């Protein structure tokens, strides 16, 4: 049976630990904050929608969906609702219609890819915005997660005040408050239930087997996961499942939603529901290796979210050959966004023909990722001389996967042999010579 390894990150959203990769899916800094800061804000959507009435997004490594959900949530709250958008629920689709644009619909298409079906199915149920999220008494106990979190310096009552302060600064959670050993974050971002419902409906429509999935049933009913899952969305799902419908008509779901939850929805949610009219939102979930999905897909995209596991452990989606494939799937004004600052990743983007820059986070005053585009004018923060120099060291040696089907182990082994036989300067000697700490 599938085991799910959740914990709370510093902004109150759920993070996951992967025992296979011995790595986390989401940083303890804040899963939802990262989705916003590294993927959604750098899209510069206010500029984009001035020139476009449709948006095509490729979400590579959808996981539990933070990047796609944060995008849609942000888009609804900041553009559709603010612009007097009118909306309603269609019979078999959901649409977002912007009245400011003289009845021209804004069309949203997201293709999301992940190998892990269970995580993708769980994505609408994940809670966000939990108020008290650092507790010595996690109701979910798993040795590996606890070991991992302790490794990451989770703060508790046993920590001295000095350690607590150090931890606060190291995580840069501004204005965070510690209350009885728990963090009460000042930033407490949330995904609206409406957004989660939209994703739930989309996934049920396109993958009706979701309703009878045994792993989902097990996770939704297992008490140890209770605090990590949104009970109202799970109840809506169960309601549908118990009806025995194979294909769920949206209208029925909405009636159901209305009957069961209307009393619990705040005014803003009611407003948001009214604003979901007609439908130009299409969510296409593919459960497979992203390399295969993208080879088969002939679409081009405005935005690509690349959120694979760290290149050193799972290089399959960071190779020169994969980036060359992505080059053909990107519009001329399209951009790829990723959290990785790796020299090897940046070099592979450059060698594939992209212009490459850094993602700057104003609130943190630091660079937090990499952006690649075919259009030079979309690169606001270019790589510095120091960054470019680093790309010409061993750290800049790219990962290769000529036939786009090698295992991570094979890609790592080939890369290792290239690094060992290379005459290039080592990155540590370059960093030392440059007289600075490696800081992106």
Ligand X SMILES: C[S@@+](CC[C@H](N)C(=O)[O-])C[C@H]1O[C@@H](n2cnc3c(N)ncnc32)[C@H](O)[C@@H]1O
**Which of these segments, 109-117, 151-159, 222-230, 385-393, binds ligand X (CB under 6 A)?**
109-117
Phi/psi at 389 (5° precision): -60, -40
**Which of these segments, 60-68, 80-88, 160-168, 195-203, binds ligand X (CB under 6 A)?**
60-68
Complex with ligand X: residue 87 or 335, whichever CB lies closer? 335
- Minimum Å gap between C-beta 339 and ligand X is 9
- Minimum Å gap between C-beta 148 and ligand X is 14
Interacting residue with ligand X among 8, 17, 29, 66 (CB under 6 A): 66
What is the contact mask toward ligand X in residues 211 to 250, using x (rule: CB under 6 A)?
----------------------------------------
Q: Is 36 in the site for ligand X (CB under 6 A)?
A: no
Complex with ligand X: residue 63 or 389, whichever CB lies closer? 63
Q: In angstroms, what CA-CA distances link 335 with 120, 317, 331, 359, 420?
A: 24, 16, 8, 12, 33
- Minimum Å gap between C-beta 4 and ligand X is 12
Q: What is the 3-state secondary structure (H, E, C) of the chain?
A: CCCCCEEECCCCCEEEEECCCCEECCCCCCHHHHHHHHHHHHHCHHHHHHHCCEEEEEEECCCCCHHHHHHHHHHHHHHHCCCCCECCECCCCECCECHHHCCCECEEEEEEEECCHHHHHHHHHECCCCCECCCCCCCCCCHHHHHHHHHCCCCCCCCCHHHHHHHHHHHCCCCCEEECCEEECCCCCCCCHHHHHHHHHHHHHHCHHHHHCHHHHHHHHCHHHHHHECHHHHHHHHHHHHHCCCCCCHHHHHHHHHHHHHHHCCHHHHHHHHCCCCCCEEEEEEECCHHHHHHHCCCCEEEEEECCCCCCCCHHHCCHHHHHHHHCCEEEEEEEEECCCCHHHHHHHHHCCCEEEEEEECCCCEEEEEEEECCHHHCCCECCHHHHHHHCCHHHCCCCCCCCCCCHHHHHHHHHHHHHHCCCCCHHHHHHHCCCCCCC
Interacting residue with ligand X among 14, 40, 57, 61 (CB under 6 A): 61
**Which of these segments, 59-67, 82-90, 171-179, 323-331, binds ligand X (CB under 6 A)?**
59-67
Complex with ligand X: residue 34 or 387, whichever CB lies closer? 34
Complex with ligand X: residue 215 or 392, whichever CB lies closer? 215
CA geometry: angle 281, 306, 69, nearest 5 deg: 35
Q: Is 64 in the site for ligand X (CB under 6 A)?
A: yes
- Minimum Å gap between C-beta 21 and ligand X is 8
How many chain residues are in contact with ligand X, going by CB under 6 A? 21
Complex with ligand X: residue 67 or 344, whichever CB lies closer? 67
> Of residues 188-207, which lie at the interface with ligand X (CB under 6 A)?
none
Interacting residue with ligand X among 119, 194, 204, 391 (CB under 6 A): 119
- Minimum Å gap between C-beta 121 and ligand X is 12
Q: Which residue is nearest to ligand X (CB)?
A: 63
* Residues 56 and 300 sit within 8 Å (Cβ to Cβ): yes
Complex with ligand X: residue 58 or 316, whichever CB lies closer? 316
Q: Is 34 in the site for ligand X (CB under 6 A)?
A: no
> Of residues 4-33, which lie at the interface with ligand X (CB under 6 A)?
25
- Minimum Å gap between C-beta 247 and ligand X is 27
What is the contact mask toward ligand X in residues 288 to 317, using x (rule: CB under 6 A)?
-xx----------------xxx----x-xx
- Minimum Å gap between C-beta 64 and ligand X is 4
Task: Enumerate binding residues for ligand X (CB under 6 A).
Answer: 25, 61-67, 113-116, 119, 289-290, 307-309, 314, 316-317
């Amino acid at each position: 049976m599938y085991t799910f390894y959740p914990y709370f990150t510093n902004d109150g959203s759920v993070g996951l630990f992967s025992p296979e990769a011995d790595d986390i899916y989401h940083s303890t800094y804040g899963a939802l904050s990262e989705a916003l800061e590294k993927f959604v804000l750098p899209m510069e959507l206010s500029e984009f929608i001035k020139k476009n009435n449709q948006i095509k997004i490729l979400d590579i490594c959808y996981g539990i969906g933070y990047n796609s959900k944060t995008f849609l949530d942000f888009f609804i709250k900041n553009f559709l609702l603010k612009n007097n958008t009118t909306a309603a629920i269609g019979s078999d689709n959901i649409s977002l219609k912007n009245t400011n644009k003289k009845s021209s619909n804004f069309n949203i298409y997201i293709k999301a890819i992940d190998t892990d079906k269970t995580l993708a199915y769980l994505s609408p149920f994940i809670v966000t915005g939990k108020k008290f999220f650092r507790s010595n008494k996690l109701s979910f106990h798993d040795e590996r997660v606890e070991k991992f979190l302790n490794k990451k310096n989770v703060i508790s009552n046993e920590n001295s005040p000095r350690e607590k302060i150090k931890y606060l600064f190291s995580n840069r959670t501004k204005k965070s408050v510690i209350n009885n050993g728990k963090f009460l974050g000042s930033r407490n971002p949330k995904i609206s239930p409406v957004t989660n419902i939209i994703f739930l409906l989309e996934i049920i429509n396109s993958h009706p087997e979701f309703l009878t999935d045994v792993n989902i049933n097990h996770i939704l009913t297992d008490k140890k996961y209770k605090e990590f899952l949104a009970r109202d969305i799970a109840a809506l799902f169960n309601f549908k499942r118990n009806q025995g419908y194979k294909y769920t008509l949206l209208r029925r779901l909405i009636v159901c939603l209305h009957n069961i939850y209307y009393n619990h929805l705040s005014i803003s949610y009611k407003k948001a529901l009214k604003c979901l009219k007609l439908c130009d939102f299409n969510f296409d979930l593919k459960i497979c290796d992203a390399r295969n999905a993208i080879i088969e897909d002939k679409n081009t995209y405005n935005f690509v979210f690349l959120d694979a596991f760290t290149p050193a452990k799972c290089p399959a989606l960071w190779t020169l050959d994969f980036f060359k494939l992505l080059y053909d799937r990107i519009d001329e004004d399209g951009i790829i966004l990723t959290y990785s600052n790796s020299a090897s990743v940046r070099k592979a983007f450059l060698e594939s023909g992209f212009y490459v820059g850094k993602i700057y986070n104003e609130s943190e005053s630091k660079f937090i990722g990499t952006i690649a585009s075919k259009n030079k004018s979309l690169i606001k923060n270019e790589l510095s001389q120091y960054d470019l120099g680093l790309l010409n060291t061993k750290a800049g040696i790219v990962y290769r996967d000529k036939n786009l089907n090698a295992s991570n182990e094979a890609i790592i082994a080939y890369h290792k042999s290239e690094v060992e036989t290379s005459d290039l300067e080592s990155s540590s000697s370059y960093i030392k010579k440059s007289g600075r700490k490696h800081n992106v």
